[in-house]
Chains A and B, each alone.
Chain A
Amino acid sequence: MTAGKGWWGQRRNRQLTLIACFLLPSLAIFFLYRILPLGWNVILSFESWSPLKPAAWVGFEHYVEMWSYDDVFWVSLWNTLIFIAASPLVIAAALGVALLVNSDLRGASVYRTIVFLSYPLMTVAVGIIWRWMYDERGGIINYALRASGLVDGPVGFLQSFDWALPSVIFAGVWQTIGFYMIILLTGLQSIPQNLYEAARIDGAPAYARFFRITLPMLRPSIFLCVVVGILNSFTSFDLVYIMTNGGPGHATELLITHIYKSAFEQTKFDYAAALTVVQFGLLLLLTYAANKAAGGNAGAVEQD
């Protein structure tokens, strides 16, 4: 402190210093691992750089390459969009489960725990478990299908171009449905009961109560679930890496696995940075659209 004792002597200044010291470590971490990387990604995406050669400004070259020459980019973009598009179905299913569990059903908390149990698991292990579930010889899914006569021979779910992506998505659903359910359940429990009482007195049928009261009141929770669904296209890296590593061919390649492979397997850090910018832009765009669709201020900053 360069200021003298007079400055330090003031209680207000002492408190402000304390507050600053308390905030600084967290802010430093978020600056170092969130803000700075974001900016660096953008700059890197306009440069030609690798660990062994100095950076040179190349403008939009990486983006042009992505747009015109990189087939894998288009495949992975498409797969990412499919991945995101699956989340509304999952949210609908989770809403169904949440509605069932929300009632004063006996054993509701047991069901809730069971559905939620898969969420805190290590995704790597979940990938291994589901690889095994889908396995041609030892997997229970193939066994059940063959034993019941639905298919004649084994189905290589993760080796098939048609089935690999849905299979991976289903494994992801298994892990995340509990999270959606918990969010929606919290939303359901915050709906004032007297709204339902009033509607019942007015003679509104069950489906009307659902569409007129439950859904509108759940809008913030649903918005949150949608955002998490969009973010999942990033966070599903672990699952895809373990289950298929993008294969067969590039049938399950997501943008994030394409980014990882470009950067850390082909050492094209600059190009991978451009890919990251594209995916992050996509994420912001979709989140913005979801926010608009949810009524504009569902994710508003708290105002206190």
Chain B
Amino acid sequence: MAARPSRPRLLLRHATLVAVSFVMLLPFYWVMKTAVTNENIYAYPPGIVPRDPHLFNFVDVWYLIPFPRYLLNSIVVSAIAVAGNVVLNAMAGYALTRQFPGRRAVLALFLSCMLIPFQATIIPAYLITAKMGLLNTYFGLAFPMLSTIICIFVFKAAFEAVPRSLIDAARLDGLSEWRIILRVLLPLSKPAIATNVILSFIWSWNNFLWPLLITRDPTMQTLPLGLARFLSYMEDTTGALYAFAVLVLAPSVLVFLMAQKEFIRGLTSGATKG
């Protein structure tokens, strides 16, 4: 930004950023170190590097708690949420690119809904879900997350970026509305689809409060609930809890590293539009 910075200032910048990065990465290191530690993790002083590291804590997590069950539940709920988000958001996003009476009202409604945090709705949301008989079901777990306002706007922006002339040409060729969406708009909006998949996956994968409210049945619990349960029920001195945390974090870190660009685009486009 400034004119070419002098060498000491450049070094100072790097030093500051390295220090920040150190603070940001330290917890990752500490939890991974604990996850592979072999001895009593409460022994003082804790070693900075693990002595005789091993991976058997991960095996313990798999068998000592119903980890495969939690994993299955999390995957099913996330899959429903991702599918719902892509389909419903694309539909709503497309509708918002068209002119229709009441469009301004719908836009205003969406934007004001963005200001209502989900946490502020938990009591009636719980009662509504209970009335619909969806407690302890996969669909009930995914239902409130099936459509996301930010992602609707991501789709809307992507569809609006498609050149008008292309759509008009397709319409002149006699393609129906459906065909235009499936053959013209969606193939040109792949980044928006990717953004939708990633955001909705990460949000539903990490969601804790909603499953906490509506699942009473241990066989329907998802990974974050399993993690919280493990924390409150087990007093153990092995690194199993931290191995569990590493296992749970791995998918979202992997998806994030794979799709950082799409992820950031989703967050910031929602941000600049809001």
Contact = CB atoms under 8 A, between A and B. Distances in A.
A97 B123 contact: no
A81 interface: no
Interface string B15-58: 01100110111111011001000000111111000000000000
A22 B94 contact: yes
Interface in B169-193: 177
A289 B30 CA distance: 40
Interface string A8-42: 00000001101111110111011011111110110
Contacts of B59: none
B122 A34 contact: no
A40 B120 CA distance: 11
Contacts of B88: 25-26, 29
A29 B30 contact: no
B144 interface: yes
A26 B111 contact: no
A30 to B, nearest CB: 5
A30 B109 contact: yes
Q: Chain A at the B interface: mostly helix, strand, loop or mixed?
A: helix
B64 interface: no
A263 B123 contact: yes
A248 B124 CA distance: 29
Given A183-B267, A260-B122, 18 more contacts: A27-B109, A40-B124, A100-B16, A103-B1, A103-B2, A111-B20, A122-B205, A126-B27, A129-B27, A132-B30, A137-B46, A138-B41, A174-B27, A183-B271, A234-B119, A242-B231, A283-B115, A287-B115
21 contacts: A20-B95, A23-B91, A25-B88, A26-B92, A30-B109, A33-B121, A40-B124, A40-B127, A99-B1, A115-B20, A120-B252, A128-B242, A137-B43, A143-B46, A174-B27, A182-B264, A182-B268, A186-B268, A234-B120, A237-B208, A238-B209
Contacts of A129: 27, 30-31, 242, 245
Contact of B91 (A22, A114, A121, A130): A22
A138 B46 contact: yes
Contact of A140 (B26, B109, B147, B228): B26
A36 B128 contact: yes
B262 to A, nearest CB: 12
Nearest to A303: B104
B248 A125 contact: yes
A132 B227 CA distance: 14
Contact of B123 (A124, A146, A183, A269): A269
**A interface, how many residues as a size bin?**
35 or more
Interface stretch (A58-66, A69-77, A83-91, A271-279): A271-279
Contacts of B260: 113, 116
Given A224-B274, A234-B119, A128 B227 contact: yes
B273 to A, nearest CB: 6
B125 interface: yes
Contact of A29 (B14, B146, B249): B146
Interface of B: 1-3, 5, 10, 13-14, 16-17, 20-21, 23-28, 30-31, 34, 41-46, 88-89, 91-92, 94-96, 98, 100, 106-111, 113, 115-128, 143-144, 146-147, 149, 152, 177, 202, 205-206, 208-209, 213, 223-224, 227-228, 231, 241-242, 245, 248-249, 252-253, 255-257, 260, 263-264, 267-268, 271-274
Nearest to A287: B115
Contacts of A273: 123-124
Nearest to B199: A120
A27 B89 CA distance: 11
A115 B24 contact: yes
A214 to B, nearest CB: 9
Contacts of B122: 37, 259-260, 263, 276
A177 B24 CA distance: 10
A114 B255 CA distance: 15
Contacts of B202: 120
Contact of A38 (B13, B121, B274): B121
Contacts of B228: 124, 241-242
Interface of A: 15-16, 18-23, 25-27, 29-30, 32-38, 40-41, 44, 97, 99-103, 105, 107, 111, 113-118, 120-126, 128-130, 132-133, 135, 137-140, 143, 146-147, 174, 177-179, 182-183, 186, 196, 200, 206, 220-221, 224, 227, 231, 234-235, 237-238, 241-242, 256, 259-260, 263-264, 269, 272-273, 276, 279-280, 283-284, 287, 299, 301-302
A35 B3 CA distance: 52
A37 B123 contact: yes
Given A102-B1, A103-B1, A140-B30, A38 B253 contact: no
A97 B20 contact: yes
A274 to B, nearest CB: 10
A29 B42 CA distance: 47
A16 B91 contact: no
A140 B20 contact: no
A30 B27 contact: no
A277 B257 CA distance: 39
Contacts of A44: 123-124
